[in-house]
Amino acid sequence: MRRILELLERDAQLRPDTIATMLDLPVTQVSEAITAWETSGAIRRYRAVIDWDAVDADVATETVTAFIDVSVAPARGVGFDDVATRIARFDEVRSVYLVSGSQDLRCTVTGTSIRAVSDFISQKLSTIDRVRSTATHFVLKTYKRDGDAFSSPEPDHRLPVTP
């Protein structure tokens, strides 16, 4: 059953009958499993991965993405969970992870400009109780996201072979 989820994670447009054929399973079994996962919340949503740099300028709007490392003073009984949950509620925040290393949380944040992201950090994120410090890393270029490469394939420089 895990294989069904892996296929859907890679391509959310796969239909149950296609998955059933790929895995040699009955279509009803695949459909019922997908419905159960959707109902239970195991499948959160379906989404497209967009290369915004490849979209026409009149359709795309400028978006700035930053990774923000957050140092948090843990609290007895809750650790980092309450701060992470509070950070995750902001619309600007795309993801929040508890990580190992010198920082405690890593957040992915988007905004319409560098100024918008920096305002979010200074006015909202850094004012949360127990947030001790932040370190911001702005994304300059995306090469790969969610398993999808955003670079063009390299041209074939091989010489043609003729008999």
Instruction: State the pLDDT at residue 58.
Output: 66
State the average pLDDT for the chain: 90
Contact criterion met (CB below 8 Å) for 133 and 73:
no
How far is residue 100 CA from its own chain's centroid?
19
Find the DSSP H helices in the chain.
Answer: 2-10, 16-23, 27-40, 81-88, 114-120
pTM over 0.85: no
Q: Where is pLDDT greater, at 98 or 162? A: 98
Q: Could you give the CA distance from residue 155 to residue 160 in angstroms, rounded to a whole number?
A: 13
CA–CA separation, 35 and 46 (whole Å): 13
Region 110-133: what's the mean pLDDT?
95
Q: Which range, 8-22, 39-53, 69-83, 84-98, is most confident?
A: 84-98
* Residue 73 scores a pLDDT above 90: yes
